[in-house]
Amino acid sequence: MSKSATVIRDAVIVIKTAILQSQYKASKEVNREQLALYFGIGQYISMNSRQGYWGMNAIEAISEQLQKELPGLRGFGIRNLKNMRTFYEEWQDFFNSAATAAELKADTQNLSEKNHKFIIDCDLLMCSNRQPMAAKFEIEEFLSLGFSHHIEILTKAKDVNERVFYIHQAFINQWNKYQLRDILKSDLYHHQGELPNNFAKTIPDARTALQAIAMFKDEYLLDFINVEELGERDKADIDEREIEKAIVHNVKNFIMKFGRDFTFVGNQYHLEKYGHEVFPDLLFYNRELAALVVVELKRGEFKPAYLGQLSAYLRILDSEVKKPFENPSVGIILCKQADKSFVEFLIQGYENPMGVATYKTVEDVRKVLPTEEELRKVIDEEL
């Protein structure tokens, strides 16, 4: 590369970085102002609508009049105005805004109900004293999320510590609204940390290790696998190869169970080292982790030997397949049953990133559901 080309390339990198940083700062400030505005409007709507100062359908009328007086105004439809009220009401205790609301009520106590109104305080969110909580709360993370993200979280997560968890994860993983919605649906909060793994010990980059911990659940429902349809053999003889075939046939569904940014590389992937051949069941690549992911399927209960087998696969992958810029390959054993404490103890003795999860099929779900005959019996007894 010529000197002039190098100079231009370096200049572009510097200017591009400055532009992106400026855009990020600008968008962050806009987001903060929007959340502060919505929180203040939410309080205003809450104090008037909940205490009966406004009549029926007032919010609908306000939204309609706003659209007339500010043509092209977006974000102030009926639903969003109610969402602002929810945003305020769900966070008011944490942000200690109840005292402010009481003061506003006292200031307007002498006004007649007809003229009763409150001032919209757009600084309320920024100036409030935040209450302590068990989960670590970062105000910058809270303010970095868009309003639609907050509403998704408020709608799906009812516990404040759970909400803080999703705010943090959405911030560090830069999830868009639809990715966040899928994560909320998968109930990550109640599965995070439950997967027996050694990621924190074996993945050098702390952020990548946390991403891996958050990415994999401890149990998966493979509801697209129906053991009855896998063959005419005795169900006890159905081995992992049959389950593997069913997964490959439904690989899109399987990837959706695991999460985003997975690409299917192949099954029974051929690896060779020093003349020895091995064939991992399923191989994926995850863009978020920037790592190959091996999934080993086991029909029955977890066995310690599975970890040694998986460790060998990962070592060969890192030696023969992994690119220099990629992170260490990750391995997941997927079996029917596992003692988490036992697995956690054993897995810490390995140097490759590994985890052990369990799975259920349609047949497993049916086993815990009452039969038609049992349901009829219950109904008859009730009658």
User: Phi and psi (nearest 5°) for 25?
Assistant: -65, -40
* pLDDT reported for residue 132: 63
Segment 108-151, tens digit of pLDDT:
444 344 444 567 777 777 766 666 655 678 888 898 899 999 99
235-241: long-range contacts (C-beta < 8 A, 24 or more apart)? 235/363, 238/299, 239/299, 240/281, 240/297, 240/298, 240/299
Separation CA 261–CA 143 (nearest Å): 26
* Helix-helix angle 177-185:147-156, to 10 degrees: 10
* Of 19, 160, 15, 174, residue with least CA distance to 92: 160
Q: Select 199-368's CATH number: 3.40.190.10, 1.25.40.340, 2.60.40.10, 3.40.1350.10.
A: 3.40.1350.10
Quote the percentage of the chain above a pLDDT of 90.
27
Separation CA 338–CA 33 (nearest Å): 49
Low-confidence spans in the chain with pLDDT less than 70: 1, 7-8, 11, 15-16, 19-28, 52, 96-118, 127-135, 173, 191-193, 206, 223-241, 251, 256, 259, 362-383
Q: Could you state, in order of their start, the residue ranges of all structural domains in the chain?
A: 3-131, 199-368
Could you give the maximum distance between any two Cα atoms of the chain, in Å?
90
* pLDDT reported for residue 156: 92
The two tokens of residue 258 are: 């695991």
- Considering the entire predicted model, what is its pTM? 0.53
The four Cα atoms 346, 347, 349, 352 give a dihedral, to 10 degrees, of 160
